[in-house]
Structure 1
Amino acid sequence: MRAVATWCVRHRLLVVAGWLVTLALCTGAARAAGSDYVSSFTLPGTDSARAGELLETAASNASGDTEQIVVESRAAGQITDPAARARVEALLARVAELPRVTRVVSPYAPEGAAQISRDRRVAFATVTFDGGAEELPATLGKRFVETVKSGAGPELKTAVTGQLAEAAGRPAPVGAAFGILAAALVLLLVFGSVTAMLLPVISAVASLGTAMALVELLTHVMNIADNSAELILLVGLGVGIDYALFIVTRHRQGLAAGRDVESSIVDAVRTSGRAVLFAGCIVCISILGMFALGVDFFYGMAVATSIGVALTMIAALTLLPALLGLLGPRVLSRRQRARAAAASTEGAETGSGFWDRWSGWIARRPIVPAVVALGMIVVISLPLLSLRLGSSDQGNHPPQATTRQAYDMLSRGFGPGFNGPFYLTAAVNGPDQRAALDQVAGAVSREAGVARIAPPQFMPAVGGGVALITVYPATAPQDAATTALLDRLRETVIPRAHDGSDLRVHVGGTTAVFADFADVLSAKLPLFLGAIVGLSFLVLLVVFRSLVVPLTAAVMNLLSIGAAFGVLVAVFQWGRLAEVIGVTRAGPIESYMPAMMFAIVFGLSMDYQVFLLTRVHEEWVRTGDNRIAVRRGIAATGRTITAAALIMILVFAAFMLGDDRIIKEFGLGLAVAVFIDAVVIRSALVPAVMQLLGRANWWLPGWLSRVLPRITLEEEVDASQATPPSRTLSASEIR
């Protein structure tokens, strides 16, 4: 790290120019190539996947994306009135002429007779494209939605629902600008200098701009979900500004202690920079751990987010030292530069004021903060016991979205279950299987929770024919009752109905796909969590040469994650204070949220653990006194960690200002996790537990110490100041 920092300082103009050229080239290439984000995933072996495969073997015009155009008469009119009918038929004729549209089923056609509500005020037409929603260009989706909107008039309301319409109407991200502004204000308060405030922001913006451009280019190589861009900004802004904050703070402490600019920068990168490198690697490892889930949906998101974190980390270790070299002593305000000559090294590095008093109080009474902090976390985490995974339906979209309007119109006309039908598919050959299929249709139609079913459709396919039965539940797609109905159909109703026949019926549809998605993730989640926790434990074991420290870190990180999900359940699933952040309807937590949140939160939590323990370990090596080491570590890092946490909280909270429910979940969950982690756990629970454990914190069996490689993050300690405790402690010494 010393060599890298020294080179970047001495060649600062070259480093800054290199970053600017890289940013410009990547951005230009991305603008020229465009982006090809795709939100799709496959779940091979699941019942919904088999249903989709059967449809794909049938006629091509039945296997593509299907959208619904919903129309509703205004005032007292009916959708069958001549004027309304003429307008709807003209609209459907224009839609039929759009590229890649293979079929339009009008509610006025004989086969669409069931597509008109009983009160004749609402109707829908089905539009089938020649490919899946993920294969169709975004421009086609926008053109399709605009065409449908053009059909509205004084006597008619129009809207469209489906995956293509949802992708076309996805709201643009709005949180990044507010997040940067909030972070800049906090940095200004912390540093008291505009120039010092700008450095972390410049470092984060330059690295994230490059990352966003690279990810756009990468979308042409691999499938990356379309909300990955906002996720990169969400995570990258938080960690990028934080990483720069820690290095700038350490450099300012060096200048205040009387060091020259170059040596101060080098020392900052050699100490805090090593912690940044280690913490950034932990975040990337945690996020890339989503590959262990074996679900292709996560691969692109994991790679994209890791690129953002990695580049912000590299910028903090290269671009930031170069910028610090250009600024020189001006990174301090005039008043701070005037006081620098009188500042002592110890006063600058060990902390003073509130954090010194707070760490001293914890050292004297560790049980009180430990009990209070743990009790607070347990209470906040209690809603986690009611966690229900699923997929929020389009009824959670913003009221102005066409998909939300279509959802509400269908609910009024046909019931909420029409927004998420089940598709029963089966390969049917011969009269016996047709008779068995009729029995299945009869049994399903009589099942409680089924509003109605459509007559079976038979489509030719290779080797025979494929039957399709559309089943409309009585409840909304995201309701627990709908998931329970799906389970009953698969486990009891359908098997009993065709018992004795070789007919095999599969249940598909968007609702079934997301239910299978939740089941697949729930089955793989324990292995995923164990892999990330285990790997992080091993890395901390090597770095801090202790069994207790990494075990404590793992437990503390799990506590912060539990608290975050407790708040998510209370707000999004129970609806408590949901309207405050613009959530108008309660629903399940997204099925992929535990995996994504765990990977990100575990990595971010490890950041603060590493920064704190690095300083504590420094003092332990220097003094050999655990009580003093913990106290000085908290006093020296408390203000910086709290400021870094406040920046992250504001950045994450800013992303709740948008309309995307999923991003709101991420923003709230990450903000709560960081607050609990930095304010409650790292400032109170961790130091209290470490004070209670005493020298046992640093225990490592001798045989294990001889096997483990030696890797250090902290500043090298002068031999005259070091004390023997840096060796491995034996069990008898701990007692």
Structure 2
Amino acid sequence: MSADRLDRPPTGQNRPSVRPMTVDRPVGLPVRGMAIHRRRCLHVPVMVAALGRSCARLRWPILGAWLVLVVAGLVLGGQVFDRLSTAGSLPPDAPSQLAERRVDRLQPEGPVVVAVVGGRDVYDPAVVQAVTAVTGEIRTMDGVAEVEDLYNAAGGRIGADNRRSLIRVELRQGLPDDRREQVEDAVAAALHRIDAPEVLVGGEKLAERAFEDQAIADAALGESVALLILLVVLVVILGGFVAGLIPLVAAVAAVSVTLLALFGLTAFTEVSPFTVNVVTLLGTGLAVDYALLVLARFRQERDADPGAAIAELLGRTSATAGRTVLISGLAVAAAMGGLSVFSEPLLGAMALGGAVAVLLATLAGLTAVPALIAVAHRRIPARVPAVGRSGRGPGLLARLAGFAQARPGPVALAVTAGLLALSLPFVFAVNLENSDARALPASAEARKVQEVVQRDFSGGQADPIVVVVDTDPAGTPVRDFLNAVNTLDGVLRVEPRPDIAGPAAILDVTPEGATADRTSRDVVRAIRALDTPFPVLVGGAAAELVDYRDSVAGRFPLALLVVVLSTLVLLFVLTGSVVLPVKALMMNALTLLATLGVLVVVFQWGVGSALLGFDSWGAIDVTTPVLLFVFVFGLSMDYEVFLLARIKEERDPRDPTGDRAVRAGLEKSGPVVTAAALCIGVVFLGFLLGDLVAVKEIGFAMTVALLLDVTVVRGLLLPALMKLLGEWNWWAPAPLRRLHERLFVQPDDSERMR
């Protein structure tokens, strides 16, 4: 037996793993010629089968190429963390961003560091002396423009309890980021030297830096813990250390090269730590999923034909599992492409990074995993994953499918009603806001500063809406405009800013309620709706939220169209049906809505917050539903493709209902899907260990989505609907059916094994 053949001798007569050919061919025409005679097109199964055989024959060059990429990713990709920045959530031409730049021109102001000094009477001589000494030192620092405190500047501020005072340090405008951070650190260090029981230092830029540092720390903690637990889970599932190591190596390779791509991306756009967190999470999960699928199918092919050469086995494996990986990867990448439709910089960077992560995970599943199997196949135990199986009986999904097929109507109705009920909190009660310092852990100093300033120095009132009027403020039209704004519902007061250069005015409009609640947003819209003879720009936190919501809502139909069309096309290529893709979209939508509903209950309402280790800030980050729309659709498609590919493979024209194919498909692929979901769930749960609420939201929501999708949706709703529809599951208009048969029908196994 050659070196490329399995080292264990065949026992008994080899049993072929393929069905006998059913296509007649002219006498004397070779099989290869028959394939060309029947269809002159290049078929996906043929191409991926050839790729699998090539990976076996060229295993070492392929692994060497991946090793070079991984080393480059570890060396250069690791530098991406030094080039991260806080990507804006709004495009530069958003109305609130135009207002902000106009305010900067009319009333220039540099970055601000604020400090709260408390714990004693504000006029205690020791406190006065300590504050005066430190603020005097700060005034002499290079890069500091102005210092305001209670004792040396007009308008000093005292807290509501008369035991806290506020220090405000404005830095010089135009400082480069590195220099600005140095000055901020020096100012913060000096302020912390004030001899008082309580000294809290914060500010917008310091909060952004705390967010970035926390995101990086959370990623390091979450990924390291998740990878360790994942290795243990994979070893148990796959029955050996070497077998368990293969998916993990594929994941590390995909993530390392993704970091290299993100490093290159920083040269063209801003990449935030949040992007790195989510993208590496996605790449890790998908790479493990695809490796598990390929490994499981390889073992099935080897068990069916134990004497076959390794190249032949990997060719068969790639023709089936490889094709599934390819279609699934393209589907998830297309879903990530839906993010690129949005004009927000954060979402744009997420779309590019996510698409790269998905494609690299797919490439690893198609090349690195077969090459690793070719090297280590003798160390891979000859058994299928045990997750989802009880003894030798059917797996979890197969048992659920049997239950659903026995009573399809009630099951479909109950599951649909239950998922819709879970979605109600999101539909009727969601509060979406931009993350600020409140999204940091409760122990973070920047968050404490914001909460104390809001409570004790602003009286709990909302941050003002900033209105810029570009005309002579002394004219009658401006006075009429001021009166109109002052009489709007929800307006508490209107205060013009003094000493504005140029023929313009800046108004601070304080709304009733919270900074970005419905009242504040309504006031923003009402001001913008006023008919004025001069230009008016509206900015501030509430206006930014209005602009973000309007931008996302305006582009969401196009993003939905991208995701829907890509899903329809790719599932049609896989199944030849137009019914199954539509049904998949409906089930994915139910999973998404139910997940968002649970997210509102936990993170907005705070149910279970103590168990998960966070303090609810009463809202969901405004980007989270958009990201989950893409991620949940993408990963749901992942498992949909896994299951439908095997169901279609098991389909028998003599069984018009397709019940046997559904049961067989779920029984054979169900354990793989369950194992994959368990592994990717471990990855997502790793991100719950961090302290950043926005990252916790994504990790928790994806875990819930996986749990719902793999059990309730794929185990119950899918077989129930397929039972109800019967042969209609595979319906397509005649022209599309002929097109699919001509271009995409999988060739006979005898053709794809060559």
Q: TM-score range by the shorter chain?
A: 0.7 to 0.9
Aligned equivalents of 1:104, 1:675: Cα separation in 2:
54
User: Which residue of 260, 268, 277 corresponds with 1:230?
Assistant: 277
1:104-115 counterparts in 2 under 5 A?
Answer: 104-108=147-151, 110-113=153-156, 115=157
Determine the structure 1 residue equivalent to 2:507: 469
Determine the structure 1 residue equivalent to 2:95: 47
Aligned equivalents of 2:331, 2:137: Cα separation in 1:
54
Distance 1:14 1:357, change over 3 A: same
User: Which residue of 657, 668, 671 corresponds with 1:636?
Assistant: 668
Aligned equivalents of 1:449, 1:72: Cα separation in 2:
33
Compute the displacement of 1:711 (Å): 5.1
Taking only aligned residues, the RMSD between alpha carbons, in angstroms, comes to 3.3
Determine the structure 2 residue equivalent to 1:723: none
Q: Secondary structure at the match of 2:201?
A: strand
CA contact (8 A) 1:47 1:508 kept: yes
Determine the structure 2 residue equivalent to 1:699: 731
CA contact (8 A) 1:72 1:157 kept: yes
Q: Secondary structure at the match of 1:269?
A: helix
Determine the structure 2 residue equivalent to 1:520: 551
Determine the structure 1 residue equivalent to 2:447: 404
CA contact (8 A) 1:542 1:709 kept: no
CA contact (8 A) 2:579 2:731 kept: yes
Determine the structure 2 residue equivalent to 1:535: 566
Compute the displacement of 1:285 (Å): 1.2
Distance 1:508 1:356, change over 3 A: closer
AA of the residue aligned to 2:667 = A
Aligned equivalents of 2:496, 2:124: Cα separation in 1:
27
Compute the displacement of 1:618 (Å): 1.0
Question: Identity of aligned pairs, percent?
Answer: 29
2:600 is the counterpart of 1:569: yes
Q: Which is worse superposed, 198-207 or 101-110?
A: 101-110
2:318 is the counterpart of 1:269: yes
1:56-95 counterparts in 2 under 5 A?
Answer: 56-58=104-106, 61-62=108-109, 64=110, 66-75=111-120, 77-78=121-122, 80-95=123-138
Aligned equivalents of 2:341, 2:230: Cα separation in 1:
34
Determine the structure 2 residue equivalent to 1:159: 201
Determine the structure 2 residue equivalent to 1:459: 500
AA of the residue aligned to 2:582 = L
CA contact (8 A) 2:465 2:508 kept: yes
Q: Secondary structure at the match of 1:431?
A: coil
Unaligned runs of 5+ in 1: 338-346, 721-735
Q: Secondary structure at the match of 2:74?
A: helix
Q: Which is worse superposed, 477-486 or 238-247?
A: 477-486
Distance 1:25 1:408, change over 3 A: same
Distance 1:93 1:550, change over 3 A: farther
Distance 1:231 1:356, change over 3 A: closer
Distance 1:165 1:294, change over 3 A: closer
| TM-score (normalised: structure 2) | 0.83
Distance 1:420 1:397, change over 3 A: farther
Between the two structures, name the one with larger relative contact order (CA 8 Å, sep ≥ 6).
2
Q: Secondary structure at the match of 2:598?
A: helix
User: Which residue of 307, 321, 343 corresponds with 1:294?
Assistant: 343
CA contact (8 A) 1:12 1:325 kept: yes
1:103-252 counterparts in 2 under 5 A?
Answer: 103-108=146-151, 110-113=153-156, 115-117=157-159, 119-129=161-171, 139-140=181-182, 143=185, 146-147=188-189, 150-170=192-212, 171=214, 172-173=217-218, 174-252=221-299
Matched residue pairs, number? Answer: 690
Distance 1:379 1:431, change over 3 A: closer
1:604-615 counterparts in 2 under 5 A?
Answer: 604-615=635-646
Determine the structure 1 residue equivalent to 2:521: 483
AA of the residue aligned to 1:575 = G
Distance 1:81 1:518, change over 3 A: farther
| TM-score (normalised: structure 1) | 0.85
What's the CA shift string for 1:211-243, capped at 9, x where partnerless? 113212321222222311111122112111111
AA of the residue aligned to 2:229 = A
Q: Secondary structure at the match of 2:555?
A: helix
Distance 1:411 1:479, change over 3 A: same
Distance 1:503 1:282, change over 3 A: same
Distance 1:540 1:439, change over 3 A: same
What's the CA shift string for 1:638-670, capped at 9, x where partnerless? 111111112222221221121111111111111
Compute the displacement of 1:300 (Å): 1.1
CA contact (8 A) 2:134 2:194 kept: no
Determine the structure 2 residue equivalent to 1:341: none
Compute the displacement of 1:555 (Å): 0.6
Distance 1:31 1:653, change over 3 A: closer
CA contact (8 A) 1:70 1:160 kept: yes
CA contact (8 A) 1:242 1:644 kept: yes
Distance 1:567 1:537, change over 3 A: same
